[in-house]
Each structure stands twice: as C-alpha cells, then as structure tokens.
Amino acid sequence: MYTYVVDHIPRSTKNNRRPGLAMNATTITIHNTANPSSTARNERNWLTNTSNNATASFHIVIDQREAIECIPLNEVAWHAGDGSGAGSGNRTSIGIEITESGNYPATLDNASTLVASMLRERGWGTERLRRHYDWSGKNCPRLMNTDGEWGGWESFVTAVRTKLNANAGGGDGDGGGEEEEPMLTPQDANKIIRFLSAAYMTVESEEARKEFNRLANELRRVSGQDPQPG
Ligand SMILES: [Zn+2]
C-alpha cells in the first residue's frame, strides 16, 4: 500500500532537470536509485537540493510508503542516459525510480502495483516495460540483476503481469465486488475531481494533497475507474 503524491519540481530547477519538453510516452522505464539509504522523499528533495549538480531526473519515485510524482508524466525527464534524440528513452519513456532503503519487498510490491495500474490506464501490456539498461546499457535497475542474468527483472515483469491480469476490471487488487455497476458515472466523477482539484490547488500542505488524492481515487473507484495520479 502506498499513497500517490504529486509534488512537481519547478520548471526553474537548476541543471535543466525539468526541461518542460512535451512527451507522449510509449514506454515505462524502471530504475533503482542506487542509494541504499534514501527514501522517496529524500530522492524528491535531492532534485531541488542546490548542491545537486547532475542533469538527471525522473518522473516518479516509489518506496514502501509513497509514490511521489516529481515531473508531469507528459513532460521529458532525464533518466535513460541515452541523449535527447527523438526516439531516445529520455524523450519517449516515463522513468520510475524504485528506492532501495527500508522494506524492499514491500517497496517492490508497491512498484509492481503502480506499474500495473499505469499500464492498465494506458491500455498497455508488459511489453511496454523497459529497464534503464535497455536504453543505455547501465546496470539499472541493479537490484533486479543480482544474479547477473536479470532474474529479478523477469520476476518483476511477471508480478506486474499477474496484477494486470488479476485486476483487469480496476480497483486496488483485492478483487472483491468490483463487477458491480458503477454507482457514479465516470464523467460525473471526473467533473467532481476537477472541481476538488481546483480547491486543493490553493492549499499548500502535503496532508491536504494526500487527502485530495485519496478522495479522487475513491471517486474513481465508485465510478469504475482505475486509481490514478492526482
Ligand atoms: Zn537507472
């Protein structure tokens, strides 16, 4: 279980970490942070830390507690290490960083849930998944390659596929009672979500944003839609 938090870095973030280039993603790329002690919040904060001199970024970072969306999913982030050509991973792929600290099995479970829901939202299968390695040859996500043969990657893709198949009707994966008619039309639910969104935009607190995400996903659930970023 995790909370999905939207906390975008500003366009003005140094080293061009959020270039603002439009992206129509065609794949999702998986990474490990390569930092055994950082949480999702630490990774998000590092993106805007003034002592960080790297031109590197990512869309979402996930740990055992939360997924933080740091760059809008329709904008470029620099995570694939393969330049900025039109077909590069950087220009065509959503980058997800999986943290290595804390309860890693729980983090991994969260990551497969998140990725399955993102694939479902887009009508994609697991053939849309990439490793950082696939773009640039970097040994990343490194914790999925501890055997030198990417056995962990195969397991992760299988876990995502299982969740995607088990949960084709949407919801949070427990499967119970989700074949009922929606109580609210998706159109009405989305109108309410947009209205709520406008109200919460004016609130600074992370608590409030989390609550908004939770409410929005409750509305999506009762209207038969998949959970989503806020
Ligand atoms: Zn990577």
Last residue of a domain, one of 120, 137, 166: 166
**CB-based contact 3:213 (threshold 8 Å):** yes
One domain, residues 201 and 121: no
Look up the CATH number of the domain holding residue 108: 3.40.80.10
| Distance from the first to the final alpha carbon of the chain | 16
Q: How far is the CA of 33 from the centre of ligand 1 (A)?
A: 7
Q: How far is the CA of 81 from the centre of ligand 1 (A)?
A: 8
pLDDT tens digits, one per residue of 62-107: 999 999 999 999 999 999 999 999 999 999 999 999 999 999 999 9
Mean pLDDT of the chain: 91
Percent of the chain with pLDDT over 90: 72
Range of the domain at 230: 171-230
Higher pLDDT, 176 or 12: 12
Q: How far is the CA of 215 from the centre of ligand 1 (A)?
A: 32
Q: Please give the tally of structural domains in the chain.
A: 2
One domain, residues 150 and 184: no
Q: How far is the CA of 29 from the centre of ligand 1 (A)?
A: 8
pLDDT mean over 131-147? 98
One domain, residues 156 and 180: no
Q: How far is the CA of 27 from the centre of ligand 1 (A)?
A: 14
Neighbours of 157 (CB within 10 A): 19
